[in-house]
Amino acid sequence: MILLKCEACGGRELKKIGNMYECIYCDSKYILDENEKVVSKELTEAKVIALFEESKRLHEANKYAEELEVLIKAYEMDENNSKIMVNLGRCYRNLNMIDKAIECYKKAIELNPNEGTAYTNMGTIYTLRGDYKEAAQYYEKGLPIIDKAEFDYWLAYANYAVSVAKLGNPGKAEAMIKEAEAHGYKNGAVIRKMAGIESKSFGSKLKSLFS
């Protein structure tokens, strides 16, 4: 059978992983038997979902310190929820507590090895630290498990281009950025600068100096 809606949060994005469906929003799990019938469920509690929703509102309002308080409350109620852990990582990152962020992303991966954005966000942390080898390893692990239909994929892919360029392949990096741009990525100028790739328009401006 195909599950269409999460019973706990009403979310409509359920991802099939092995013998279970997982709600990509609240982390509820639906275990299937060999006939694809749901045999057991691990539903995330309503009060945890309410806190999670509150934290998202605070995040969108850029109120990261308040978001952190709410996420910690949610975490204390549901320590094994990898979605809460990923958002905690993002929140610590926004508060510039980078080591804490890394700790949360690592924990998220321990809880759920399919948490692709936990890997790619670590990649971006290491990119910003200038540790391109370490960054590349995390992107290589994270990207294959993120759906290409999600914008997160292309954001991470463009960020990975910085490491690809810095590790000696600027041509491949430029092709990656172009591919990300074809999928809606808008930050090409900044990422090319970070990658040390000369922008095309600059090249053509230079050419236009000559007849």
Query: Contact residues for Zn ion (CB under 5 A)?
Result: 6, 8-9, 11, 23, 25-26, 28
Shortest CB 63 distance to Zn ion, Å: 24
Residue number, 26 or 58, with CB nearest to Zn ion: 26
Shortest CB 84 distance to Zn ion, Å: 12
**Residue 146 in contact with residue 156, Cβ under 8 Å?**
yes
Q: Six-digit token pair at 174?
A: 């430029």
Shortest CB 3 distance to Zn ion, Å: 11
Residue number, 48 or 173, with CB nearest to Zn ion: 48
Residue ranges in the chain assigned as alpha helix (H): 46-60, 64-77, 82-94, 98-111, 116-128, 132-142, 151-166, 170-182, 188-195, 200-207
Query: Rounded CA gap, 70 and 76, in Å?
Result: 10
Residue number, 45 or 134, with CB nearest to Zn ion: 45
**Residue 84 in contact with residue 71, Cβ under 8 Å?**
yes
Shortest CB 68 distance to Zn ion, Å: 22
Three-state DSSP at 78 gives: coil
Q: What is the DSSP letter of 148?
A: T
Q: What is the DSSP letter of 187?
A: -
Residue number, 8 or 101, with CB nearest to Zn ion: 8
Q: What are phi and psi of 115, to 5 degrees?
A: -80, 75
Shortest CB 36 distance to Zn ion, Å: 19
Residue number, 30 or 138, with CB nearest to Zn ion: 30
